[in-house]
Chain A
Amino acid sequence: MNTLTRETRESDRSQAEQFIMPAASVTEINDGYMLEIEMPGVKKDGLEISVENNELTIIGRRSLPSVEGTLIHRESRPENFRRVFEIDPSIDANKISAKMDQGLATLTLPKAEHVKPRKITVS
């Protein structure tokens, strides 16, 4: 078992929409992986997760609170978030689940049944 959820870095940066790369953490849990992605300002409806050609794409569209007044100091960036991971073949893509809580997207990527450790009884 050498690869996990490997990240794909796109060489094509000439997309029409600009995204920023959110911070992510990958943790191996009992029978799968847990992926946590920081997307402040993204609500549940703004989260788009898709799996295509073994690539897991997570897009977070922000709905930032409207603030009255002039911006006098800025550190945040207005772009939406996007991150792409190559998913390990051991992951069952049909069973990926996600939740969104306070700007933190948590994805659970369970391993497919056939790769789970199994004890074989000698008869």
Chain B
Amino acid sequence: MRLIRYQAPNSTQWPALDRWSNLRDELNSFFDMPSWSGFGRTGQLFTGWSPAFDLYESGDHFVAVVELPGMRKDVIDISLHDGTLTISGEREQESSNGETAQRTERYVGSFRRSIALPTRVDSSKVTATYEDGILKVTLPKAEEAKPKQIQVS
């Protein structure tokens, strides 16, 4: 019996390794994706579009900041119901006359984000601005929810 020395496959000629490196690239790109910005948003991989949502609180108001690049102001809906703020909207597919999509990472279609606010807000005083693709909603707290200083007499 003859022993044949084992030769490691030459990596450049081994197609399986190429495939592996593609997979690795895909995985790397997955971690680079804007969707991977917290466990809360991993759901987006399965459910579609879920824009990043930040919430700030100060003594007398809340500010919700939502990343909505490339939308039109009039297709963004903001509603407040039972202390839950809901932001929804839709981005329509642009006309595809003589156009071929080569790579599509931008979401098209509708989205809806809801967040339960920790305290009551005054729904009549809610204001919103949309600038540079960022929606900023300012929600003043209801009178009874504002911090109060009580004087000791």
Q: Give me the interface of A with B, judged by CB distance under 8 Å.
A: 4-5, 7, 9, 20-30, 33-34, 36, 38-43, 63-65, 67-77, 101-104
Contacts and interface: CB of A to CB of B under 8 A. Distances in A.
Nearest to B70: A104
B37 A77 contact: yes
Contacts of A101: 70
Interface in B76-135: 98-107, 115, 118, 130-134
B29 interface: yes
A27 B10 CA distance: 38
22 contacts: A20-B32, A22-B34, A23-B106, A26-B101, A28-B101, A28-B102, A38-B69, A40-B67, A40-B69, A63-B132, A69-B58, A70-B56, A71-B56, A72-B56, A73-B115, A75-B38, A76-B37, A76-B65, A102-B130, A102-B131, A103-B68, A103-B70
Given A69-B56, A104-B70, A24 B61 contact: no
Given A65-B136, A69-B57, A71-B54, 11 more contacts: A9-B25, A20-B32, A25-B101, A26-B102, A28-B102, A41-B133, A63-B132, A69-B61, A73-B55, A76-B67, A102-B133
Contacts, number: 136
Contact of A42 (B34, B62, B101, B132): B132
Nearest to B71: A102
Contact of A73 (B53, B102, B103, B107): B53
Nearest to A35: B103
Contact of A74 (B54, B58, B103): B54
Contacts of A25: 101, 103-106
Interface residues on B, range: 35 or more
Nearest to B96: A27
